[in-house]
Structure 1
Amino acid sequence: MQDLTDRDTDAGERIRTAAVLLFARRGYAATSIRDLGKAVNMTNAGIYHHVTSKEALLADLMRVAQRGLIDSTERMLAPYRRPADRLSLLIGSLTAVHARNPMTTRVMDGELRSLTPGSAAHDEIIGLRDAYEAHWKAALADGVAEGAFRVADERLTRLALMSMCTGTSEWYRPDGRSTLEQVCAEFVAIGLAAVRAPAATTLATADFSLLPEYPWEPLDDRDDPRPDEARR
């Protein structure tokens, strides 16, 4: 028989799955506690048994997602010093995380505006984002300093490359024309070309087994209204 703790854990995960689904599709502001309750067949009181507020639920989802991304990135980067290896890992891992967790990452990337400005949660998420982006800044800066990269504007280059990677949450489909490994490899090639890195015989590649797992990520997003040929 499932004990109370197990039932609470299952309910909490179902609430988080519903929240990610609704926040990603409708937006945080357009989703109510009542909407969450309907999605998981619970009353408002039942929802509040597991979360203190809708904003606290959003902050928790973003906090866990950001920490998971940082932890996995740091484990992958630890053995490598060459800027080209580090940039390759950053591009491949960010691409894969967004492709594998499209709804969680849409919420993580797009709903900071929904946290109360100046609140502890808002400041914490900004700090986590800064900590993650510091790895990109360091890889690019080290590459330029060592003469391995030629970049006119490191900030713009970083933003362009990160946008390329995060965009997979919007268009990638596992049943599309390219495997995730192929997409990551192509994006790495595009990224290294963008920083004018010399051709390398071997580069570090992202280990997908080290990527964060988000147990609440909805299993699929198949009700895409676009025609099949528009899916990559």
Structure 2
Amino acid sequence: MDTGLRIRTAAMRLFAGQGYAATSIRDLARAVDMTNAGIYHHVASKEALLADLMRLSQLGLIDATDRQLANLRDPAERLAALITSLTAIHALNPMTTRVMDGELRSLTTGSSPRDEIIALRDLYEQRWKSALADGVQQGAFHVADQKLTRLALMSMCTGTSEWYRPDGESTLEQVCAEFVAIGLAAVRSPAQVTMRLDLTLLPEYPWEPHDDPRVAPAGRTTP
């Protein structure tokens, strides 16, 4: 693992596990066995490192979503794909998504990095807005408040980063299928959509410890 990736991996674990504000450059340097000066040789600042991680995370989310949506025109299928993708990404990448979703507040208000992350989040949410709006316009969805419906469905999906475990009672495929059913019921769609979970379409975040059984989500080390 090269030095840049080592630093990103340690930073993601620390930011997810104890929060950005509680993490110092000294903590990061200790985690990768470097000096503070050595860290600054690779990153301009702690905030720049956070912005870089959030940017890469958001771009991965957008790219994966667009691959899921490719060639889908039916609003119900698009909504099912959005629910499946967002649910799976959060379930499988709890560290990344916890930082991506929760640390915007740590970027300086009015700064270019913060504005860029907000723009990327808006770009992603536009996929949801379009699917819901098209469904309503075509008479396929019956929604009183599209914004509230969108926020409720997205919150349902993102919550898997907090509770999903691979060894839990339900498989990820089952969770995604149930969430799709809930989502279609929420928009009062009569459609019956079966959306296959294709893991090859999901983003790859190299700092997520998928293959290390000693590392639990959010950077907590298991006994």
Q: For this structure pair, what is the TM-score category when the shorter chain's length is used for normalisation?
A: over 0.9
Percentage of identical aligned residues = 74
Residue type at the aligned position of 2:130: A
Q: TM-score under structure 2 normalisation?
A: 0.93
Say which of 185, 198, 204 aligns to 1:213: 204
Shift of 1:204: 3.8
Worse overlay, 159-168 or 17-26: 17-26
| Aligned residue in 1 for 2:130 | 138
Q: Which runs of 4+ in 1 moved over 4 A?
A: 222-225
Shift of 1:76: 1.5
Name the CA distance, whole Å, in 2 between partners of 1:49 and 1:183.
43
Name the CA distance, whole Å, in 2 between partners of 1:127 and 1:24.
22
| Aligned residue in 1 for 2:77 | 85
SS of alignment partner, residue 23 of structure 2? coil
Q: TM-score under structure 1 normalisation?
A: 0.89
Report how many aligned residue pairs link the two structures.
216
Name the CA distance, whole Å, in 2 between partners of 1:85 and 1:203.
8
Shift of 1:205: 3.3
Name the CA distance, whole Å, in 2 between partners of 1:50 and 1:188.
42
Name the CA distance, whole Å, in 1 between partners of 2:86 and 2:159.
10
Name the CA distance, whole Å, in 2 between partners of 1:208 and 1:151.
31
Residue type at the aligned position of 1:133: E
| Aligned residue in 2 for 1:72 | 64
SS of alignment partner, residue 89 of structure 1? helix
- Please provide the CA RMSD for this pair: 1.5
The question of whether the paired residues in 2 share the 8 Å contact of 1:88 and 1:205 is answered with no
Residue type at the aligned position of 1:184: C
| Aligned residue in 2 for 1:157 | 149
Shift of 1:206: 4.1
The question of whether the paired residues in 2 share the 8 Å contact of 1:19 and 1:36 is answered with yes
Check if 1:44 corresponds to 2:36: yes
Name the CA distance, whole Å, in 2 between partners of 1:14 and 1:160.
36
Check if 1:148 corresponds to 2:140: yes
1:24-43 pair list within 5 angstroms: 24-43=16-35
Provide, for residues 190-225 of structure 1, a one-character-per-residue CA deviation record: whole Å limited to 9, x for no partner.
11111111032x444342211100001134416589
